[in-house]
């Protein structure tokens, strides 16, 4: 017969072990990287493989509106008026979701130094993965996209890349033989504006802010190779922790 005091300590020990186990499974990951770095694809794959929730700020805003909370109602009126949801409100929405969450993958938040500082007041990341690709390669990836001109037609989802996924015949959709075109967003001028904006607002300030824990990955490699590198980084740290 174990004396009550001993019981208590056994239970406490078990609780402690469980907590340890739980803590070890907490994985909070931030993905940094410009458009075209494959950040969205890699974070979705990692989320699926490790069963970690992949959080998008757009989804959070939509679910806040749906919940009809006070904040949700406020956001709804802003969106319906065609205005942009301010940084402050995005911060509040993300906080209300993540404050009590131990595992998540973020790939679009924090987007600015101010957001990163706000997030740091109530949470932190276990991993900050930065996907790097030389600028010329990013531009090639992003400007090479071609869409079927019938893309509005639900019957055709023709989506090509002049180098990575070319159509059988140049400028012609394999699926419906319509002509292909380049979206305005994919033209050089827009791409350069987007890349410069990312670098100034997100890339430089956040790489600096997270400099003590950031891990850089060469994302000029194939998506499969990049994923392997990410997995290795996660697995190694699991063993070492």
Q: What's the rounded Cα separation, in Å, for the pair 25 and 101? A: 12
Q: What's the rounded Cα separation, in Å, for the pair 98 and 104? A: 8
How do beta strands 180-181 and 145-148 pair? antiparallel
Q: Does 178 bind Zn ion (CB under 5 A)?
A: yes
The least distance separating Zn ion from the CB of residue 178, rounded to whole angstroms, comes to: 5
Contact range with Zn ion by CB under 5 A, out of 18-26, 109-117, 137-145, 170-178:
170-178
Q: Does 156 bind Zn ion (CB under 5 A)?
A: yes
Q: Catalytic: which of 66, 135, 183, 204?
A: 183
| DSSP single-letter state for residue 185 | G
The least distance separating Zn ion from the CB of residue 69, rounded to whole angstroms, comes to: 43
Contact range with Zn ion by CB under 5 A, out of 25-33, 37-45, 68-76, 143-151:
143-151
Q: Catalytic: which of 141, 145, 146, 150?
A: 145
Q: Which of 173, 180, 206, 234 binds Zn ion (CB under 5 A)?
A: 173
Which residue in 158, 165, 163, 160 sits closest to 140, CA to CA?
163
Which residue in 236, 210, 231 sits closest to 33, CA to CA?
210
Nearer to Zn ion, 54 or 150 (CB): 150
The least distance separating Zn ion from the CB of residue 164, rounded to whole angstroms, comes to: 18
3-state secondary structure of 127: strand
Q: What's the rounded Cα separation, in Å, for the pair 205 and 127? A: 17
**Residues 50 and 234: beta-carbon distance below 8 Å:** yes
Q: Which of 78, 79, 162, 176 binds Zn ion (CB under 5 A)?
A: 176
Q: Which of 10, 20, 175, 200 binds Zn ion (CB under 5 A)?
A: 175
Residue 140 known to be catalytic = no
Q: Does 167 bind Zn ion (CB under 5 A)?
A: no
> Which two three-digit tokens encode residue 108?
């679009």
Residue 6 known to be catalytic = no
Q: Which of 33, 34, 36, 158 binds Zn ion (CB under 5 A)?
A: 158
Residue 28 known to be catalytic = no
**Residues 173 and 167: beta-carbon distance below 8 Å:** yes
Contact range with Zn ion by CB under 5 A, out of 83-91, 171-179, 194-202, 203-211:
171-179
Q: Does 148 bind Zn ion (CB under 5 A)?
A: yes
Q: What's the rounded Cα separation, in Å, for the pair 143 and 161? A: 9
C-alpha separations of 123 from 102, 158, 210 in Å: 9, 42, 13
Q: Does 89 bind Zn ion (CB under 5 A)?
A: no
Residue 193 known to be catalytic = no
The least distance separating Zn ion from the CB of residue 31, rounded to whole angstroms, comes to: 32
**Burial environment of residue 165 by CB neighbours within 10 A (0 to 12, 13 to 18, 19 or more):** exposed
What are the residues binding Zn ion (CB under 5 A)?
Answer: 148, 150, 156, 158, 173, 175-176, 178
Catalytic residues: 39, 111, 145, 183, 194
């Amino acid at each position: 017969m174990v004396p009550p005091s001993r019981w208590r300590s056994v239970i406490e020990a078990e609780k402690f072990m469980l907590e340890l186990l739980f803590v070890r499974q907490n994985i909070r990951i931030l993905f940094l990287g410009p458009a075209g770095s494959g950040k969205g694809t890699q974070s979705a794959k990692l989320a699926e493989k490790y069963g970690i929730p992949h959080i998008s700020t757009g989804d959070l805003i939509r679910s806040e509106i749906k919940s009809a909370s006070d904040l949700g109602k406020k956001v709804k009126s802003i969106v319906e008026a065609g205005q942009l949801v301010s940084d402050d409100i995005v911060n509040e929405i993300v906080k209300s979701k993540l404050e009590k969450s131990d595992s998540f993958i973020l790939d679009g938040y924090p987007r600015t130094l101010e957001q990163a500082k706000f997030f740091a007041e109530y949470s932190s990341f276990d991993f900050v993965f930065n996907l790097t690709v030389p600028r010329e390669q990013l531009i090639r990836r992003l400007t090479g996209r071609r869409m079927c001109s019938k893309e509005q037609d639900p019957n055709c989802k023709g989506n090509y890349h002049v180098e990575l996924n070319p159509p059988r015949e140049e400028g012609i959709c394999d699926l419906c033989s319509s002509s292909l075109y380049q979206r305005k967003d994919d033209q050089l001028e827009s791409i350069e504006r987007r890349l410069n904006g990312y670098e100034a607002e997100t890339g430089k300030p956040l790489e600096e802010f997270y400099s003590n824990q950031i891990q850089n990955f060469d994302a000029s490699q194939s998506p499969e190779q990049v994923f392997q590198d990410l997995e290795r980084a996660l697995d190694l740290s699991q063993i070492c922790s």
